[in-house]
Amino acid sequence: MTLHERAAGLDHIGLVVPDTEAALSLWRDRLGFVVDHAEVVNEGGILLTHLDLGPVHLQLVQPLVRPHPLHDWLDRHGPGLHHLCFGVPDVGVAWQGDGVGVPPAQPAPHQGTRGRRAVFLDPAHTGGVQLELVGS
């Protein structure tokens, strides 16, 4: 099955930021988007802050510990667009092998927000675009 057949739609757009409060001064304070929720995940390593854009969220992703691959990302690319995330009913099915037409980039799903599981797909098979899947 393809991702189009499995996906429930775009869940969020992920931006990597070095400082969530500074990013909120733009997205919340100047542009007026409402913070839906925020939480620390992955054993205290990442702060995820979701802003409500309607049917899709904007996710501000701030790495909290060093070393962390997202600090390397910030060093190489600076703050900005990191990934597109699609909702799927079952990350386990999508993650196994080539469940959505593109192999996963990681050996196992990781913790997403609100207790959901997530997995990144291999960017070598997505034209270099970071794609994440999130679901149960």
Which residue range is the domain that position 85 belongs to? 3-135
CATH code, domain with 111: 3.10.180.10
Cα separation, 87 vs 57, in Å, equals 12
Please tell me the predicted confidence (pLDDT) of residue 97. 62
Cα separation, 127 vs 125, in Å, equals 6
Q: What is the pLDDT along the chain (136 residues), one digit of tens a residue?
A: 788 888 889 999 999 999 999 999 999 999 999 999 999 998 899 999 999 999 999 999 999 999 999 999 999 999 999 999 999 988 887 777 667 888 899 888 988 888 899 999 999 999 999 999 999 8
Question: Which amino acid, one-letter code, is at 3?
Answer: L
| Residue 31 CB contacts under 8 Å (≥ 6 apart), including other chains | none
Question: Which amino acid, one-letter code, is at 77?
Answer: H
Cα separation, 96 vs 104, in Å, equals 8
Number of structural domains the chain divides into: 1
The answer to whether the CB of 64 falls within 8 A of the CB of 45 is yes
Query: Taking the model in full, what pTM does it have?
Result: 0.93
